[in-house]
Chain A
Amino acid sequence: MKPAEHLLGLTVGSGWTVIDKLVKKPGESGGHFSTGYIVEAADGKKAFLKAIDFSVPPGHPDPARFLQELTEAFNFERDILQQCKDDRLRRVVVAIEDGRVDVPAPHAGLVQFLIFELAEGTLHHRSRFAIAFQHAWSFRVAHHVATGLWQVHKQNIAHQDLKFSNVLVFNGTGSKIGDFGRASLFGKPPMRHDALMVAGDRTYAPPEQLYGHVHSDWRTRRFGCDMYLLGSLLFQMFTNVPMTGQWLSHLHRTHHPGMGGWGGTYVQVLPYVRDAMDRAIVDAQATVPEPYRDEFFRMVRELCEPELEKRGHPRGMHSPANQYSMERYISSFNLLAYKAEVAMRVAAKSP
């Protein structure tokens, strides 16, 4: 058994007591080398602890390399979270503190940990929050997520792995984005995942990454990816299906990005991808109520635009700084959320 799995009952950091261990289901995201716990402070405040196991799996061919990569990944995430904390980013889940704990025998070992605010759940648990006020709630979440992305983008951080499980919902403070394990920092030495074509979860990846099209400009490549992921998240909140899976299901096999599929360039296959994505969007029209439909799909279309150079708000096309700015979308989501909230109140008052 790994030391990181034996923290129950220990006191860590500035007086947090580990009171509960979270059982991870097979396949659940959150990393192979981390274990989640609930910790409690002396004043009764609860938080989430992520323990990173630095023990080398038995039989690993290169333990030194393994430890180096794990350490780099941990430091990378910790530094990003520290930066977000220093800049007081309200829509990002930041670490309350980090540190290390010596696990006593018989499972002795050194475990690094990060402590976060405790969320009520992720977007996967949206049914808990959204039964009675789905639209207002969904637009408010989109507003918060767009704000979170805007905040990190201003710090030259691209998230690259935005999906339901990485949007955390808090009682009272709304939603925040979390898990920066796949993020990319402009101007910093690239991490291992930066070299991958798809840094985040491939199920949600934007089309250009699936076809191996790499834009030379970091901002275009990385912020463009975040923009697509936001559009996909928005699409999924109303249709239950991520955008990538949906357009892939409308694509002819010969134009598929995988093995045995498309052998040409991205620019050549782009019209087929667009056609499939258009189909996905047109088919989904009925899923969104009429008062919000046009605005909703305009944003999905702009955010998920398959041509990377044209992704984003049309009025911002003249420079990457404006093109991938979230500000216009933050305003639009806010407006839609207000509209939906007003509609909800009116409906509640009507006999």
Chain B
Amino acid sequence: MSTGTRDVPRRLVPRWRSKRDSASSGELTTNPRAPKNVELLGNAFLEEKLALWNAQKDRDSAIELASAAILLDQRALASAAGEYVERQNDATPAERNLARAVLSRPDVVDPRGLVETIDPQLEWHASIHAIRSLIKTCPRNPFLWSELSRAHTSVGNIHRAKDAMTVAAQLAPHNRYIVRAATRLFIHFGKPDIAHAILLRYEGLRHDPWVLSAEIAASGVLERTSKYIAVAKDLVKTARHSPFQLSELNGSLASVEFLAGDGRASRRHFQSSLIQPTDNAVAQAVWASNHGQPLQIPPQALEVPNAFEANTLKYQALQRWDAALENCNDWLIDEPYSRRAAELGSYIAVVAQGDYAQSEAFSRRGLLANPDSLMLRNNLAVALALQDKLEDAQAEFSVLMRHGLGDAVTFNATRGLLLYRQGDFLAGREAYLHAMELARDSKDGRSWALAGTHILLEESRTDPKAAAALLPTIEKLVSQAKDPQVTLMFDRVRHGMMKNEV
């Protein structure tokens, strides 16, 4: 059982949500500016249309006025015309759309492009079907391709997801949403070089904080230092962008400084990133805070919409496991392809909560989108074995044996668990002890203690006396590891042993 990601530094890789959600979050805006076309500001032509409408009060003049009012974003002027069109029994769908747009309240932010017509409640396979049918009609729409890629990613169709995103990136190489989505996808599938190449082709890279942030993150994943660090530092100093627009860029710069050991500069950037943060920037700050960066995370930062990862990490650090799992669950709904969310959820459920069924659910959801993740498959095997679903557990473990899990400690511990549950106590104990030796040799105190706690659990089920003899040694290991989750599991096992004695 492992989170699989403990030692990998978190990078501020862009979130990949639907275009509707990204637009609603404010991520797809630019700095408003006066249009280059100054004549657009003139109202004379709108006044002409208004005069025509007032004189004629017919359908054509209503449509002309509504179109002009939408163009100048002065919809209130055309509200009577909009109502007139809405009242027409034989109005076409286009006329009704126009009337609705004119009559919408100014504060309503409702992106309604073609891609938004896909029902977000659809199951992923149905969604794929719906998107493909729209692509047949609109093959040049990059958002349909990226949405197709997202749907394929969520069900683990890796090659189709990559192909669809490649088309999207070719169709819209200079669109922020597409470029950031492509970055997330290719990093997710272990191709950060492709992600980086896409980012470098973006025409406004030096001026777009959102894409610049992604470039720094992708460079980090490639274990390179971005060539745009100086540009990014200049950009965050200028007053051209709002703190929200600069949030992720500040977070990326903070992470670079943090990993380089410059605590002061890192703290400064993190603080700037938290003025008006995105949920991703908050998660980055919480991660750094949990890894030794002294940071004050403002409580309101954790209340930004969709801050599920940040809250998972926060509650994990606070050892509030119910809240951590709840947020982890929301995180996985928000990013169904997130391997980290599934791994962390399945791990916390077993180790901290002893909720094996929930761990199984997390692993299965994670495997749907990440069928190649051996760590998730290992966690699934463990959750199944702990529920005594031994055939299923063995089937999952066989996959691990075929592919070879990179983490030998985890692999041997899982093998030990299975052998114990299958009744081969001797071989099980041997496998666990081997896992413990490997952990000890690699100075991984947490895994050492965790394997020890697991052996204690199995021994308490099969040989209480041997378990009692083992208890002081394992207790010592657990206290040395200082890992709250392992401690919690150990306490639970010890409590169970004492209850059995009584």
Which residues of chain A have a CB within 8 Å of any CB of chain B? 25-29, 124, 164, 196-198, 201-203, 209-212, 235, 238-242, 244-246, 248-265, 267-268, 270-272, 274-276, 278-284, 286-287
In the complex, which residues of chain A have a beta carbon less than 8 angstroms from the beta carbon of B470? none
In the complex, which residues of chain A have a beta carbon less than 8 angstroms from the beta carbon of B28? 252, 254-255, 272
A254–B245 alpha-carbon span in the complex (Å) = 14
Query: CB within 8 A of B143: which of A249, A255, A275?
Result: A275
10 nearest CB pairs, A to B: A245-B67, A27-B52, A212-B36, A249-B101, A275-B113, A27-B51, A239-B94, A263-B30, A26-B51, A252-B111
In the complex, which residues of chain A have a beta carbon less than 8 angstroms from the beta carbon of B50? 27
Residue B54 at the chain A interface, CB threshold 8 Å: yes
Residue B53 at the chain A interface, CB threshold 8 Å: yes
Structural contact, B140 and A209, CB atoms closer than 8 A: no
B121 CB to closest chain A CB (Å) equals 19
Nearest-CB residue, chain A, relative to B90: A240
Are A263 and B178 also in contact (CB < 8 A) when A241-B63, A258-B40 are?
Answer: no
A212 CB to closest chain B CB (Å) equals 3
A209–B92 alpha-carbon span in the complex (Å) = 27
Query: CB within 8 A of A262: which of B30, B39, B56, B67?
Result: B30
Interface residues of B in 24-70 (CB under 8 A from A): 26, 28-37, 39-41, 45, 47-56, 59-61, 63-64, 66-68, 70
Structural contact, B114 and A275, CB atoms closer than 8 A: yes
Q: List 17 A-B contacts (CB under 8 A).
A: A26-B51, A27-B47, A196-B39, A197-B36, A202-B40, A203-B49, A203-B71, A239-B93, A241-B94, A250-B101, A250-B113, A251-B111, A254-B23, A258-B71, A260-B32, A282-B134, A282-B137
Which residues of chain B have a CB within 8 Å of any CB of chain A? 19, 23, 26, 28-37, 39-41, 45, 47-56, 59-61, 63-64, 66-68, 70-73, 91-95, 97-98, 100-102, 109-117, 134, 137-138, 140-143, 171-172, 174-178, 203-204, 208
Query: CB within 8 A of B141: which of A196, A252, A262, A278?
Result: A278
Query: CB within 8 A of A203: which of B26, B67, B110, B137?
Result: B67
Structural contact, B39 and A197, CB atoms closer than 8 A: yes
In the complex, which residues of chain B have a beta carbon less than 8 angstroms from the beta carbon of A261? 32, 35, 73
In the complex, which residues of chain A have a beta carbon less than 8 angstroms from the beta carbon of B140? 274
**Residue with the highest number of chain B CB atoms closer than 10 Å, among A241, A248, A280, A284:** A241
In the complex, which residues of chain A have a beta carbon less than 8 angstroms from the beta carbon of B92? 238-241, 284, 287
In the complex, which residues of chain B have a beta carbon less than 8 angstroms from the beta carbon of A276? 112-114
- The number of residue pairs between A and B whose CB atoms lie closer than 8 Å in the complex comes to 213
B368 CB to closest chain A CB (Å) equals 28
A212–B111 alpha-carbon span in the complex (Å) = 22
A115–B446 alpha-carbon span in the complex (Å) = 95
In the complex, which residues of chain B have a beta carbon less than 8 angstroms from the beta carbon of A27? 47-55, 61
Are A124 and B60 also in contact (CB < 8 A) when A197-B36, A212-B35 are?
Answer: yes
A91–B26 alpha-carbon span in the complex (Å) = 49
In the complex, which residues of chain B have a beta carbon less than 8 angstroms from the beta carbon of A242? 63, 67
| 10 new A-B contacts at CB < 8 Å, known A202-B40, A258-B72, A272-B28 | A198-B37, A198-B40, A212-B35, A241-B92, A244-B71, A255-B28, A268-B204, A271-B171, A272-B175, A274-B142
A293–B45 alpha-carbon span in the complex (Å) = 34
A254 CB to closest chain B CB (Å) equals 4
In the complex, which residues of chain B have a beta carbon less than 8 angstroms from the beta carbon of A210? 37, 40, 71
A235 CB to closest chain B CB (Å) equals 8
Structural contact, A275 and B141, CB atoms closer than 8 A: yes
In the complex, which residues of chain B have a beta carbon less than 8 angstroms from the beta carbon of A241? 63, 67, 92, 94-95, 97-98
In the complex, which residues of chain B have a beta carbon less than 8 angstroms from the beta carbon of A268? 30, 174-176, 203-204
Structural contact, B37 and A197, CB atoms closer than 8 A: yes
Structural contact, B97 and A212, CB atoms closer than 8 A: no
A272–B115 alpha-carbon span in the complex (Å) = 10
Are A259 and B52 also in contact (CB < 8 A) when A245-B71, A265-B174, A270-B172 are?
Answer: no
